[in-house]
Amino acid sequence: MTKPLAELAPLDPEMFDPVCPSPLVPFRVGDKWAAMILRCLQDGSRRFSELKGPLRGVTSKSLTQSLRRLERDGFVTRKAYEDTKLGVEYSLTPLGRGLLGPLDAACEWTREHWDELIDAHEAHMNKGG
């Protein structure tokens, strides 16, 4: 049960201070592909073209942008091969590998609540949302 508004503590105006790490939350909610990319790299390095296969529907542009963000945030490394046809391959960093456990937990939670999530989505769509 939620508390009446009068009983809620006021929000801290500094909760999103510029030095607060919340914008760097590893699971970039706005990035549809990040968690799936991490999962694709869990067993080893992959080339760009290998990543596109299981990520049905991803455009080259979206995949590139997601990989760049993951690289910028320290979760993925990019290695370019100039002397072979391999081109570029991506790998998880130790930081990225450390996200696999929380990612597994999020997947398990989703499996446990799948029916509830579908019901909520359908109810929202039926309201015209």
pLDDT per position in the chain (129 positions), as tens? 555 656 777 766 665 566 555 555 555 545 889 989 999 999 999 999 899 889 888 999 999 999 999 999 899 999 988 876 668 899 999 999 998 998 899 889 989 999 999 999 999 999 876
d(CA 39, CA 50): 13
Q: What is the mean pLDDT of the chain?
A: 83
Decide: 24 and 70 in contact? Cβ < 8 Å.
Answer: no
d(CA 113, CA 97): 25
pLDDT confidence of residue 29 = 47
Decide: 58 and 33 in contact? Cβ < 8 Å.
Answer: yes
pLDDT confidence of residue 86 = 63
The full set of domains in the chain, from first to last, is: 17-126 (1.10.10.10)
Question: Taking the CA of residue 22 as centre, how many other CA atoms within 13 Å lie in the half-sphere pointing to its CB?
Answer: 6
